[in-house]
Amino acid sequence: MLKVGDKAPDFKLIGNDGKTYSLKNFKGKKIILYFYPKDDTSGCTKEACNFRDDFVNYKKLNIEIVGISADSTESHLKFTNKYNLNFLLLSDPDKSTLNKYGVWQEKSMYGRKYFGIVRTTFLINEKSIITNIFNKVKVDGHSDEILKIFSPN
């Protein structure tokens, strides 16, 4: 499991804009790297829209927002367009990055066990070091909680 102080694992994933991204693309910037289960589902939509609505505040602080799920780039593009999302979504269909970050885990619902993405957010500094980890994120108030970390006033 990754912990605060670890170097963030690199990745090479395609974004909703069709370009390939790695952690190096964000060198010198703080990143909110958030992992979410599925495009266009209630919790994931609410989380994305909260980040969208707070985007201006993050930009002022030179912070990039990047969402990752196993959904396809086409799904990400539809999701982005439907909700006017103003940040990058990356597609990890082979789950390589999900596994590197430890968010692809066994889950249980109604007694049925399955593998899926555990909603998790990593805050990464300008030197690619993990500064905060939010496990099993509760969507309500999450973006506000992160903003308070970056601008405690």
Whether 49 is a known active-site residue: answer no
| CA quadruple 119, 35, 69, 95: dihedral, nearest 10 | -90
Query: How far, in Å, are 40, 75, 110 from residue 63 at the CA level?
Result: 24, 25, 38
- Distance in angstroms (rounded) separating the CA atoms of residues 68 and 88: 9
Catalytic residue among 13, 31, 33, 44: 44
Does residue 47 sit in helix, strand or coil? helix
Active site residues: 44
